[in-house]
Copies of this chain bind each other. A is one copy, B any other.
């Protein structure tokens, strides 16, 4: 069925009338001063004609490196992580590397050792901060097993931390908070994801710090899980509690913001006339809902790309410096000045 077997470097050598070693040298690019130009040309032509592809398994075995990185993310179905993957894969491909995914424990089945065989076939790991829990469960009691590791969206100041690639999340939240304050909002509720990772922890502080600078501004916080239904329920709590109602909901993500909008409509409040809502992440969802969400754009692809660059530097023996990528406030239709208090 499959006809001829894949040609090996020896087949190429035979066809070109040289030794296997020469083929390896030429195709490996380290032949300067060892093989003549015409011979090299012949070898390349022959390899091309036979459709030769080096056997990666053999190469990996010989070199002890696999040219494959592992990317650990909590869930690919979240657009942010899909985009992180895309960026990482792009940079990897440029350098002849592959990227294999480990998309969270619950996604892959109840393996005792979740990495399973992948562990042996990779040169390094890029791990999302949100996946740190999964990471802790693997291998030699939570150690990285000696594998080069790059962390995404993890606390850069943590002691003994591996190289990190971060988003300026705190800055993003300061920006969005200032945007609401500038519009005139003074009663703001932070709809916070109940996820205990660095990237989420810094948000509340950033919001509080900005509000503290404005006399009369009051902050409330409502926690919920990272899905629409939970966000809707939390927003309903925030909007129907006793005391004066907040005029703006500052959400930890576009998904939460979408839930908040639904809660508002359910309560007969119009967005943004009666209630301003802000998102975060700037997913495609942000422009799919009505009104479109004021949000904060994250360079997700660049996070993946930069993470991969850092890992490659690490593999080359270098010491990548921690990087922080800027984010950008995108104002759309879900925010407006607060309605005048009812007479």
Contact = CB atoms under 8 A, between A and B. Distances in A.
Interface of A: 1-3, 6, 51, 53-58, 60-61, 66-67, 76-77, 79, 82-83, 85-86, 89-90, 93-94, 96, 98-101, 103, 107-109, 111, 116-121, 140, 146, 228, 255, 258-259, 261-262, 265, 284-285, 287-290
Q: How many copies does the complex hold?
A: 2
A58 B100 CA distance: 19
A186 B117 CA distance: 57
A140 B51 contact: yes
A86 B93 contact: no
A67 B107 contact: no
Given A107-B90, A146-B2, A121 B255 contact: no
Best-surrounded residue of A51, A57, A76, A117 (most CB of chain B within 10 A): A57
B262 A56 contact: no
A99 B285 CA distance: 28
A146 B7 CA distance: 13
19 contacts: A2-B146, A51-B140, A53-B120, A54-B117, A61-B61, A76-B86, A77-B82, A77-B284, A85-B103, A90-B109, A93-B108, A98-B100, A98-B118, A100-B100, A259-B288, A261-B290, A265-B290, A288-B289, A289-B289
